[in-house]
Chains A and B, each alone.
Chain A
Amino acid sequence: MAQDIFTRFRGGCMMLLRKDGDTVVFLGTAFLAHPDGFLLTTAHNIQGREHLLVAPQETSTAFEPTTTETVTSCDVDLIAIDETHDLALLKLRHEFDITCPDHMIGVPDETPPGSGVMWLGYPFGFQHIFNQFIRQSLIAAKIKTQADVDVFLFDGAVHPGMCGAPLIAADDRRVIGVVGGLFVPPHAKEVGEPSVPSLQFSFAVSIKYGVALLEAQGATIV
């Protein structure tokens, strides 16, 4: 199961980077969401609209070095920002031959708590480790925030580099959310004990907001 999901999504799951002079800096994870070259990530990964790049991982099964000095990347344009739902839509600037599985977008509303989920990205990018990781857990809860945003809570701590990764339902191998970060209870409800740590839960916003961004650009969701 995990192997299938990893194989299915690894090619479209990329490092998000920003050009800084002659170098690049790591910003987080982005993933291919449409065969027209659209990628989704979290809005809080984006610093500045210009000079954004993505770098895919080699899709071999060989052992990869933990660190690398250089990265081969390609330009992307920031197409839309949805700050309310913490999402950003990017598009590959150049022409690519893209294979995107049909029906890769799932149905978040019909995915119940308790469902298995996986997510893959680059958790240690900020530590200069640029390997792709896959993790699995369960949907712990589905909540609507005070800003009226549908959010999945899942058990497991998301590392900063994983923000923007696709949250994938294990049973039908479809993307149901975009990983946002660690869940901090005071963000959801600022009452009670403010210092209660919650390192065991993370959140992802529903993919339906990503679909809305794509459809606003005229992309047909298959």
Chain B
Amino acid sequence: MSKDAVPSEQNSDSWFHLDVHPWVFFGSAGLIISSVILTVLFAQYVGDFFEQAQYAMSKYTGWVFIWTVNIILIFVLMLMFGRFGDIRLGGPDARPEFSTTSWFAMLFSAGMGIGLLFYGVAEPVFHYAANPFAEPGTTEAARMALDITFLHWGLHPWALYTLVALALAFFSFNKGLPLSIRTAFYPIWGERIYGWRGNIIDILATTATLFGVATSLGLGVQQVNAGLDYLLGIGQSSGIQVALIVGITAVATWSVVRGLDKGIRRLSEINIVIALSLAAFIFLLGPTLFILDALLENIGYYVQNLPRLSTWHEAYEQTEWQHGWTIFYWAWWIAWSPFVGMFIARVSYGRTVRQFIAGVLFVPTLVTFAWMTIFGNTALYLEMFGAGGITEAVQDNIPVSLFVLFGNFPLSAVSSVLGVVVVITFFVTSSDSGSMVIDIITSGGNPNPPVLSRLFWAILEGAVAAALLVGGGLTALQTATITTGLPFAFILLGMTFSLYKGFSDYTAPQAFTLKTDRDLAEYKIKQQPPLDKHKTYGYRRLW
């Protein structure tokens, strides 16, 4: 490994140092700003266009997504149990930069974030009310509801993140290449990754990441505002929502400027502690025994049904349920994989491939399952055995449904406040890690990008969210981001080949071949006794 591949914190506080990759930095910034202006000016047209594009993508290329996520999951599992498992990211002497707890906190905060909070309640309830495998409202529907939710949030998305993160970490930390999406193609393209094709990939990744985070932020603050209105009756207005964006962006900017260790890591840890407190709160005050029973059954059912569900494509039903759910999720996770993968790569120095996959694939999946069971099964418990009303709340307003759920249990004021805090901290951690990833890519793969660049991207992220919120076009650009899932699906498939080749070359035995045969000569061997050491160089001086 080249010595400069160690992700140290050097130069992290050099404010006036602006070391950027000009094509990627200015290309991305130009594309983002012009896209925002065009979207605001032609929101309706852009929205319709990308909605049609997303529909067409789901309808005609859904099978591509299903193949892609399954191939990647199998590939990642093969890496974990195969001969490459002992490779250590950063070389044999590398040691982890962060403790395992901090590592989990950061990758979980970046990987799933806010979606878990809202969809933890909403998705199982949606599937309980309607899914293609069971009669709505039945016991089987409840069982399938959690199974489908586990499919969408379980091993497959984390396998996508694992692949991208592993490829980037390996080529960056072990081969000394820049920490950038283009780097994953080095075994295929060689030095050409530094040319136009590498620039395009990095610009696409930067733009998708920024739009993904900014539109989530813009749409998310509307949901937070709805929740706060439900709790406090403060009303809903774009003024409040912009103020929320400003507040979240300010904290995220502070975090990203402080750096990975002093800012993002600490916020992620705080975030996870608060989120776990909320989950513990609901677990203890909710139907504890039902949750414990259900967790075991949900996991067992998921394992039993995984091959069936993950390859099902409604070919015989000719329905479109899957377009709006499974295919949407696969496209969404794939579109987010450059961002989350890059962030996970950045914080995973020093882990072996086996540790890395176990940590990134299985641990977050199990935590997600526990989370979904606590929130989803509590909601289903209320529907099946309690007062009900959650289905209506979910269909009415997803964020508010979370607080409706809290209202069914004691100390709802405490859980609601905790809920709001978790929503906001999840936004902050998504925002700061997104900014950090963009900073790294646009600075040419520098794991510790210049402070000015961090400041620029963190503020731009908030500004884009606010501009789209006020001017319109949030949903349009979010849909546009999801459509990048299709090209990225092919990029990810290319990455599997590239990573396998990289690992094979890395562990290849010593070999050398002549460039021309004329450099070899054949000689007859003359026998001679062992050398007289006194007539040679060395040896005696050693002692």
Q: Which residues of A contact B (CB under 8 A)?
A: 7-13, 17, 19-20, 22-28, 32, 37, 42-47, 53, 56, 59, 68-75, 81-88, 92-104, 106-107, 126, 128, 130, 145-147, 149, 151, 160-161, 172, 174, 180-181, 187-188, 205, 220, 222
Contacts and interface: CB of A to CB of B under 8 A. Distances in A.
A93 B508 CA distance: 24
A75 B520 CA distance: 8
Interface in B12-41: none
Contacts of A8: 507, 509-510
A128 B174 contact: no
Contacts of A26: 525, 528
Interface string B418-441: 000000000000000000000000
27 contacts: A8-B509, A8-B510, A12-B510, A12-B511, A22-B524, A23-B525, A23-B526, A24-B523, A26-B528, A42-B539, A44-B531, A83-B537, A84-B541, A92-B512, A94-B516, A96-B513, A96-B515, A98-B512, A99-B512, A101-B510, A103-B91, A103-B92, A103-B93, A145-B542, A187-B542, A188-B543, A220-B2
Contact of A24 (B1, B508, B526): B526
B526 A25 contact: yes
B536 interface: yes
B530 interface: yes
8 closest residue pairs by CB, A with B: A43-B538, A12-B510, A94-B519, A44-B539, A86-B538, A187-B543, A23-B526, A43-B537
Contacts of A43: 536-539
A149 B174 CA distance: 31
A104 B512 CA distance: 15
Interface in B456-509: 505-509
B535 interface: yes
A20 B507 CA distance: 38
A20 B526 contact: yes
Contact of B520 (A74, A128, A130, A187): A74
Contacts of A82: 538
Contacts of B317: none
A104 B93 CA distance: 12
A172 B543 contact: no
Interface of A is mostly: mixed
B190 interface: no
Contacts of A99: 505, 508-512
Given A44-B539, A94-B514, 20 more contacts: A11-B511, A22-B523, A24-B523, A42-B538, A42-B539, A73-B520, A83-B537, A83-B538, A84-B538, A84-B542, A86-B541, A86-B542, A93-B519, A94-B515, A99-B511, A103-B93, A103-B174, A180-B539, A181-B539, A187-B542
Given A24-B524, A71-B522, A102-B174, A126 B529 contact: yes
B483 to A, nearest CB: 39
A99 B511 CA distance: 5
A157 to B, nearest CB: 14
Interface string B33-56: 000000000000000000000000
B8 interface: no
Contacts of A187: 542-543
Contacts of A160: 530-531
B237 interface: no
A23 B524 contact: yes
B538 A70 contact: no
A74 B521 contact: yes
A205 B542 contact: yes
A69 B523 CA distance: 8
B254 to A, nearest CB: 38
A7 B511 CA distance: 10
B521 A101 contact: no
A134 to B, nearest CB: 13
Contacts of A130: 525
Nearest to A14: B512
B3 to A, nearest CB: 9
Contacts of B92: 103, 106, 172, 174
Contacts of A145: 542-543
A72 B521 contact: yes
Contacts of B93: 103, 107
Interface in B220-234: none
B513 A97 contact: yes
Nearest to A174: B92
A68 to B, nearest CB: 7
B101 interface: no
B160 to A, nearest CB: 27
A47 B525 CA distance: 17
B508 A101 contact: yes
Contact of B530 (A20, A23, A32, A126): A126
Given A205-B542, A220-B2, A45 B506 contact: no
B318 interface: no
B511 A151 contact: no
A222 B468 CA distance: 48
B533 interface: yes
Contacts of B533: 44
B515 A47 contact: no
A73 B537 contact: no
B524 A9 contact: no
B541 A81 contact: no
B543 A96 contact: no
B510 A128 contact: no
B527 interface: yes
A74 B509 contact: no
A27 B91 contact: no
A174 B92 CA distance: 9
B514 to A, nearest CB: 6
Nearest to A151: B542
Contact of A147 (B505, B525, B526, B541): B541
Nearest to B526: A23
B175 interface: yes
Contacts of B538: 42-44, 46, 81-88
A81 B537 contact: yes
A68 B514 contact: no
A74 B521 CA distance: 6
B176 to A, nearest CB: 8
Contacts of B521: 53, 72-75
A22 B512 CA distance: 25
Contact of A96 (B175, B512, B525): B512
